[in-house]
Amino acid sequence: MAADRAGVVTLMKPAGDGWEPVTGGESDTSVYRRGSVFAKCCAPSGVPELEAERDRIAWLAGTGMPSATVVDWLVSEDGACLLTSAVPGVAGIDLPSWGWLGAMETLGRTLRELHALPDCPFERPLASVVASAQDVVRRGAVNADFLTDEWRAVAPESLLAQVVAESTYVESVTELAVCHGDACLPNVFFDPLTLRVTGFIDVGRLGIADRYADLALTTIQLYDVWSVDPTPFLTSYGLTEPDRRRLDFYRLLDPLTWG
């Protein structure tokens, strides 16, 4: 059994023995691992979202970018399970400090390659993201753990008002690219020896969006989690004078969309 926002529901589980539960993550799913395969399972209400993630994983793998691949898709009246290959290497959040500089440089180059992919069939327009934030705030579902100390001292409605007021500017300077959508260190894997990027995971928000939606999350993660200056990452990406206004905008918008 697993609790969702509507109550207690039964989540589908992968068939067979040997599956070990995996902790962590922020979505209403259960995750299991068996060898080199992961299974992400959801209740019936979560099937459309998990199906959308399946389609994004399959598309990204087909581009040649380092990523997981779809192994199987199981759906029934109990929900669905998405089986994917494990990405080799170490998650960025677990990478030792001696590798941080090299990892920032390879991540900058790889993210730029992701952003430059052609013919992406998925979109994540800013208006829809702001609408999601409005829904989360309206329901009182903002997760305070995702907010800074400064933001926690402000009512979510006021934070949302800042986003809405600034969105006109952001729309006017948007640079569309294929964005990961949640480009945080736990979602990027590295070879611990060569420090090359071995894959992106959790691509359920992947789609055409302003490239700063990714850049804002990556840079703030580098600063908060690794306690490093993200300049080497931005330089490797090819951005020497980032738009600080857009970085601030997306850093505020993102935590208001999880709820």
Q: How many CB atoms lie within 10 A of CB 71?
A: 15
Q: Is-catalytic flag, 202?
A: no
Give the N- to C-terminal CA distance of the chain in Å, as an integer. Answer: 20
**DSSP 8-class letter at 39:** E
Beta strands at 70-76 and 188-190: parallel, antiparallel or unpaired: unpaired
Residue 246 and residue 126 in contact, taking contact as beta carbons nearer than 8 Å: no
Give the SS3 label for residue 14.
coil
- Helices 212-224 and 244-253: crossing angle, nearest 10°? 80
Q: How many CB atoms lie within 10 A of CB 8?
A: 9
Which residues contact residue 242 at a Cβ distance below 8 angstroms, ignoring those fewer than 6 apart? Answer: 212, 215, 219, 234
**Rounded distance between C-alpha atoms, residue 243 and residue 240, angstroms:** 10
Residue 186 and residue 223 in contact, taking contact as beta carbons nearer than 8 Å: no
* Catalytic residue selected from 182, 202, 214, 254: 182
> Annotated catalytic sites, by residue?
182
